[in-house]
């Protein structure tokens, strides 16, 4: 759900794309709504009709990015089901999102604001952090006796960290994403490491 009322899908997408580029290039403080409207090829009146302010536009981008990760949040541990299959499913939910160029572009924009506008970035980070889904999987698998884990929070962070170590952080500022084969290898290796470390 976005912070504007009944937008035209094409115009909305154009504005979001232009805003991501502007925020990334100039930073939030120096970003210009004039430049965003020009880049999006919409009038300023249209821009402000959809987004009341620059803050509203930034938050809408964060909400848009957060919605992409909904599948990760929805995955829950299923009692008795093979743990390797479940870890692989969770990893692919994350991996498929990290293979989307627009997701990486939006992530770049949000992270760049961490240095320039810590308060705004902190609000965004809270909406985008999906580590809880990985922690929940580790905790429930341990309670079910499929994994031996003393610290589920640490294990969850390790798991998502293994995926992002190859599929996110090295690519964040290059504009590239992993191929399907590269992501498959990353996920297989990450799951194997978790199984090797925590299997009963």
pTM exceeds 0.95 for this model: no
DSSP per-residue letters across 49-61: HH-SSHHHHHHHH
Same domain, 35 and 91: no
Same domain, 101 and 149: yes
Same domain, 88 and 178: yes
Number of H helices, E strands in the chain: 11, 0
CATH code for the domain in which residue 45 is found: 1.10.10.60
Quote the domain boundaries for residue 85: 69-198
Q: Which of 65, 71, 62 is nearest to 94 (CA)?
A: 71
Tell me the three state secondary structure of residue 199. Answer: strand
Which of 64, 87, 107 is the last residue in one of the domains?
64
Same domain, 186 and 142: yes
Structure confidence by residue, pLDDT tens digits, 170-195: 998 887 999 999 999 999 999 999 99
Structure confidence by residue, pLDDT tens digits, 56-101: 998 888 888 888 888 788 899 999 999 999 999 999 999 999 999 8
Tell me the three state secondary structure of residue 147. Answer: strand
Same domain, 79 and 38: no
Same domain, 154 and 136: yes
Same domain, 96 and 127: yes
Question: Are 108 and 172 within 8 A, CB to CB?
Answer: yes
For residue 2, being part of any structural domain is answered with: no
Q: Which residue shows structure tokens 């599929």?
A: 167
Query: What pLDDT is attached to residue 124?
Result: 74
Structure tokens at 197: 């470390």
Same domain, 118 and 185: yes
Buried b (16+ CB within 10 A) or exposed e, 61-70: bbebbbebbe
What total number of domains does the chain contain? 2
């Amino acid at each position: 759900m976005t912070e504007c009322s009944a937008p035209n899908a094409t115009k909305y997408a154009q504005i979001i794309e232009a805003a991501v580029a502007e925020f990334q290039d100039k930073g939030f403080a120096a970003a210009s709504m004039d430049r965003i409207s020009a880049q999006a090829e919409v009038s300023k009146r249209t821009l402000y009709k959809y987004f009341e302010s620059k803050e509203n536009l930034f938050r809408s981008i964060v909400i848009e990015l957060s919605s992409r990760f909904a599948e990760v949040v929805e995955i829950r541990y299923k009692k008795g089901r093979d743990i390797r299959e479940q870890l692989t499913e969770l990893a692919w939910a994350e991996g498929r999102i990290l293979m989307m160029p627009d997701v990486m572009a939006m992530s770049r924009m949000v992270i760049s604001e961490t240095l320039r506008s810590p308060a705004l970035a902190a609000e965004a980070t809270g909406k985008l952090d999906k580590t809880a889904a990985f922690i929940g999987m580790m905790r429930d698998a341990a309670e079910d006796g499929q994994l031996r884990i003393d610290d589920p929070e640490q294990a969850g962070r390790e798991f998502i960290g293994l995926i992002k170590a190859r599929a996110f952080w090295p690519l964040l500022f290059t504009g590239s994403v992993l191929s399907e084969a590269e992501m498959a290898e990353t996920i297989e290796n990450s799951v194997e490491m978790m199984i090797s470390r925590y299997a009963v």
